[in-house]
């Protein structure tokens, strides 16, 4: 199976999401914003970014990268198996 440039871009985007999901650069920071540590705000914002990215992926790349036939309808696998 060959991958398109768009598929590889999704792989890179998810690798970046995983890499920065842990705010390693904020370790040891005692900065507080609005009563909460800044690393907690990082997680709140990052989960928002991850949600938007996953929503875009679900609309544009799910069929190719998850093995679902877009023309067959929702929940229908491309090869064998139960729907």
pTM over the 0.85 mark? no
23 in any annotated domain: yes
Please count the structural domains in the chain. 1
Confirm whether 52 is domain-assigned: yes
The reply to whether 83 falls in a domain is no
Task: Give the whole-angstrom CA distance, residue 27 versus residue 10.
Answer: 28
Backbone angles phi, psi at 9, to 5 degrees: -65, -40
Residue 72 in domain: no
pLDDT under 50: residue ranges of the chain: none
Q: Which domain holds residue 38?
A: 5-65
> So what's the pLDDT on residue 3?
66
Confidence at residue 28, expressed as pLDDT on a 0 to 100 scale: 85
Whether residue 82 lies inside any domain: the answer is: no
Whole-number pLDDT of residue 30: 87
pLDDT at 42: 92
pLDDT for position 72: 59
* Percent of the chain's residues with pLDDT above 90: 35
């Amino acid at each position: 199976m060959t991958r398109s440039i768009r598929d590889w871009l999704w792989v890179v985007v998810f690798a970046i999401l995983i890499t920065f999901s842990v705010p390693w650069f904020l370790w040891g920071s005692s900065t507080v914003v609005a009563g909460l540590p800044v690393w907690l705000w990082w997680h709140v914002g990052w989960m928002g970014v991850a949600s938007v990215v996953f929503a875009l992926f679900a609309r544009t790349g799910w069929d190719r990268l998850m093995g679902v036939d877009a023309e067959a309808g929702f929940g229908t696998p491309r090869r064998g198996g139960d729907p």
